[in-house]
Amino acid sequence: MKIICIGRNYVDHAKELGNEVPTEPVIFMKPKSALLQSHTPFYYPEFTNELHYECELVLRICKNGKYIPERLAGSYYNGITVGIDFTARDIQQEAKKNGLPWEKAKAFDNSAAVGKFVDITPAFNPKNVGFSFTKNEETVQKGNSGEMIFSFNKLISNISNYFSLNIGDLIFTGTPAGVGECLVGDQLEAFMDGVSLLKVEVK
Ligand code: ZN
Give residue 108's identity as a one-letter amino acid code.
Answer: F
Residue pLDDT, tens place only, 53-90: 999 999 999 999 999 999 999 999 999 999 999 999 99
Q: How far is the CA of 174 from the centre of ligand 1 (A)?
A: 5
**Model pTM?**
0.96
Summarize pLDDT for 153-182 with one digit per residue, the tens. 999 999 999 999 999 999 999 999 999 999
List the beta bridge partners of residue 7.
Answer: 26
If you measure from the C-alpha of residue 89 to the centroid of ligand 1, how many angstroms do you get, rounded to a whole number? 11
DSSP classification of residue 22: P
First CA to last CA distance, the chain: 27
Residue type, 202: V
The alpha carbon of 157 and the centre of ligand 1 are apart by a number of angstroms equal to 19
Domains in the chain with CATH codes:
3-201 (3.90.850.10)
Measured in angstroms, how far is the CA atom of residue 141 from the centroid of ligand 1?
13
